[in-house]
């Protein structure tokens, strides 16, 4: 019996943000993300029948023990054993690695939890000796990934993914993500993402704490409504190819996310002075050249620059001339839209 499973899953960048949750890891508003191509987590899982006196889980991150992450994984694996009964009978050896550095503004929880969920679902299939239809398999993996990290539910799919119930998308769900099934305009089929490393120090406030602060946030209702409207508009933009409209919505989402952090109680900010200087320069460059260039932010100070492949050369020059001095050790990571896990 084959007892080793390997999955590589990408991180994703949210274009419409998930910020605020309810119940068991369910989103307060729908979100939309683009899967990345170069920034991936690789998980290798080996399973064998449980033996008394032996550990249920042994975990290595980039070849080394990592007790904090092992504990997190162990809790997560216990929490999904009702859905994946094989987990009660087998012990696991897991090793994982990322192709991207820590705290670079790339969500490693999204890529890691989705890769792990895919491994666990494949393991259940192998033990049951029954292959599920691919759509069902991915839906299940997305649901399991969601329980590890909300945004991980979207990493199970390539290109653009929707998580959360929304108007006009009858298959959408709060429990799992779905791939965007519309016809993507060529402008958005090869979208580039250059991740500018402004600051790689660990975040002062975790995303878990940030989601919690939305519970009593004075702007919560307005925010969830704004996201619902942005979703409907942005899906239309992906089909129509209007980059100006895309920029308007995506930047509004990024700044709203950080506005929510700054106006929560207690308030906090994750942006750094250089984030704001870079944003100013990006806007000036866009106005001056009329070249399509859009920024977004995750829950951190680093900037994702989004632009069509056709403008890669000129934007790389802009980065080298005007932005590089604002970056930590001049570092940035080149990525772009990807086709999902493998
Ligand atoms: O999936 P979590 O719990 O790490 O939260 C992710 C939150 C954001 O990355 C800021 C937004 C998103 O939709 O990915």
Query: What distance in angstroms lies between residue 110's CA and the mean position of ligand 1's atoms?
Result: 8
Query: What distance in angstroms lies between residue 298's CA and the mean position of ligand 1's atoms?
Result: 7
Binding site membership of 150 for ligand 1 (Cβ less than 6 Å): yes
| Sign of the dihedral defined by the CA atoms of residues 86, 87, 88, 94, in that order | positive
Q: Give the atom of ligand 1 at the shortest distance from the alpha carbon of 151.
A: 1
CA proximity to 246, closest of 292, 284, 280, 282: 292
Binding site membership of 172 for ligand 1 (Cβ less than 6 Å): no
Query: What distance in angstroms lies between residue 149's CA and the mean position of ligand 1's atoms?
Result: 8
pLDDT in tens, 80-118: 999 999 999 999 999 999 998 877 677 899 999 999 999
| More confident call, 102 vs 21 | 21
Structural domains in the chain plus CATH codes: 4-179 (3.30.230.10), 186-336 (3.30.70.890)
**Chain position carrying tokens 């019996």:** 1
Question: What is the predicted pLDDT for the residue at 214?
Answer: 97
pLDDT in tens, 200-259: 988 889 999 999 999 999 999 999 999 999 999 999 999 999 999 999 999 999 999 999
**Chain position carrying tokens 């129509």:** 240
Binding site membership of 41 for ligand 1 (Cβ less than 6 Å): no
Binding site membership of 14 for ligand 1 (Cβ less than 6 Å): yes
pTM: 0.95
Which ipTM value was assigned to this complex? 0.98
- Assign 308 a pLDDT band (cuts: 50, 70, 90): very high
Which residues, 6 or more positions from 209, have their beta carbon under 8 angstroms from its beta carbon? none
Question: What is the predicted pLDDT for the residue at 107?
Answer: 83
Query: Using CA atoms, how far apart are residues 278 and 164, in angstroms rounded to an integer?
Result: 32
Query: What distance in angstroms lies between residue 211's CA and the mean position of ligand 1's atoms?
Result: 9
Binding site membership of 163 for ligand 1 (Cβ less than 6 Å): no
pLDDT in tens, 134-158: 999 999 999 999 999 999 999 999 9
Mutate which of 24, 149, 150 to test ligand 1's pocket (most atoms within 8 Å of Cβ)? 150
- Assign 2 a pLDDT band (cuts: 50, 70, 90): low
Please answer whether residues 256 and 226 qualify as being in contact, where contact means their C-beta atoms are separated by less than 8 angstroms.
yes
């Amino acid at each position: 019996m084959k007892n080793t499973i390997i999955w590589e899953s990408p991180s994703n960048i949210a274009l419409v943000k998930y910020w605020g949750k309810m119940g068991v890891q369910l989103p307060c508003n729908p979100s939309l993300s683009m899967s990345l191509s170069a920034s991936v987590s690789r998980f290798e899982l080996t399973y064998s029948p449980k033996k008394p006196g032996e550990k249920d889980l042994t975990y290595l991150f980039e070849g080394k023990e990592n007790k904090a992450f092992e504990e997190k994984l162990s809790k997560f694996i216990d929490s999904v054993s009702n859905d994946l009964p094989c987990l009660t009978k087998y012990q696991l050896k897991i090793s994982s690695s990322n192709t991207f550095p820590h705290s670079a503004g790339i969500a490693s929880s999204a890529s890691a939890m989705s890769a792990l969920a895919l491994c666990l679902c494949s393991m259940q299939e192998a033990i049951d000796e029954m292959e599920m239809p691919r759509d069902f398999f991915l839906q299940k993996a997305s649901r399991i990934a969601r329980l590890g990290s909300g945004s991980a539910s979207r990493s199970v799919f390539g290109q653009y993914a929707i998580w959360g119930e929304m108007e006009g998308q009858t298959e959408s769900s709060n429990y799992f993500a779905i791939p965007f099934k519309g016809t993507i305009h060529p402008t958005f089929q090869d979208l580039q993402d250059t991740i500018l490393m402004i600051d790689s120090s660990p975040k002062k406030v975790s995303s878990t704490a940030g989601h919690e602060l939305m519970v009593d946030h004075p702007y919560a209702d307005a925010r969830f409504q704004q996201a619902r409207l942005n979703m409907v508009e942005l899906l239309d933009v992906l089909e129509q190819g209007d980059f100006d409209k895309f920029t308007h919505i995506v930047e509004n989402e990024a700044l709203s996310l950080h506005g929510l952090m700054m106006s929560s109680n207690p308030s906090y900010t994750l942006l750094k002075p250089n984030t704001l200087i870079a944003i100013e320069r990006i806007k000036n460059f866009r106005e001056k050249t009329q070249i399509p260039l859009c920024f977004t932010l995750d829950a951190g100070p680093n900037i994702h620059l989004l632009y069509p492949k056709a403008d890669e050369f000129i934007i790389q020059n802009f980065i080298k001339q005007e932005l590089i001095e604002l970056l930590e050790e001049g570092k940035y990571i080149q990525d772009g839209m990807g086709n999902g896990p493998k």
